[in-house]
Structure 1
Amino acid sequence: MRRKKEIEKKIDDIALNLEKSKIGEYVDLINNRKKLLYLNFIQGLARGFGMAVGFTILGALVVYFLQRLIKLNIPLIGSFIAEIVNIVQYYLH
């Protein structure tokens, strides 16, 4: 009798955990191709936009720091970096 109650409690715990993990919603999503394609498309757009913005900010910071290094006028590094910045600015215009 006691063993039966323990098994029932374990089954209830497993059922509760399955509900919490939302496996049913996941299966519904997998079976609905239109919704799955739509969500994947939106996620792809968001990732692409995020990468573009992030790369732009990172590139701007690199160019900014390279310009600051040029102003320090370090003999070998300064002329090399100045040439790189000129190339980047040429392609930006």
Structure 2
Amino acid sequence: MQAVTLTVTDFMTIAGAALAIILIMALFVFLLLKLTNSDKKGLYLPMVFGNTSYLGYPVALFAFGMDGLSRAVVYDMMNALVIFSLGIYIVHHK
């Protein structure tokens, strides 16, 4: 097994970029659903949050090696944090 070193700066940069991507997608999907007068709130979460674990990990490992996989894990950690906090709010908000 190969060890990968990830600096705090890299971690914070990736986490910040992940948060920015998620928030931009959330705003885009919100506006899209408002413009189309869609009442399908169930589409919101799958359109904002991608399948970054089961699909993303093998792709990151294949394309970028262990360094890319470690960065994909950081991205996925932020994705999971937001979906299990903001995602729950979105589902229960009327």
TM-score, normalization by structure 1: 0.39
Larger Cα-atom Rg? 1
Return the structure number with greater helix share: 1
